[in-house]
Amino acid sequence: MIKTSLLFFVTALAEIIGCFLPFLWLRKGASAWLLFPAALSLALFVWLLTLHPAASGRVYAGYGGVYVVTAMMWLHFVDGVKLSHTDWLGAGVVLVGMLIIVYGWKAS
């Protein structure tokens, strides 16, 4: 389960970086050269999706939970947004939901 969770986290990070860099270019006036690493990051994201245990609703639901937590961490640590207690609580609930889903597919 740790290997799958780590894969989910790395996949989410690749997706977030691939979307964040064009945002910097479009909204923050950053260099258009950021589009190149953004494209590479999104290509990495797609490749990482092929490494997931299966292309199924359970896997993508589990990945979605990790994505939410990763996005909240990005918001806090990269964007410097102070998250509320309810933000952290919601991220925790989503993470617990992901663990339940992953455990369920391993048990079936």
Domain boundaries in the chain?
2-107
Give the SS3 label for residue 31.
coil
The burial of 82, by beta-carbon neighbours within 10 Å (0-12 exposed, 13-18 middle, 19 or more buried), is given as: exposed
Each residue's pLDDT, cut to its tens digit, for the chain (108 residues) gives 678 889 989 999 999 999 999 999 999 999 999 999 999 999 999 999 888 877 677 778 888 888 999 999 999 999 999 999 999 999 999 989 888 887 776 666
Neighbours of 92 (CB within 10 A): 12
Type of residue at 104? G
Q: How far apart are CA 105 and CA 69, in angstroms?
A: 20
Structure tokens at 15: 């997706």
How much is the pLDDT for 58?
78
> In the chain, what's the furthest Cα-to-Cα distance?
49
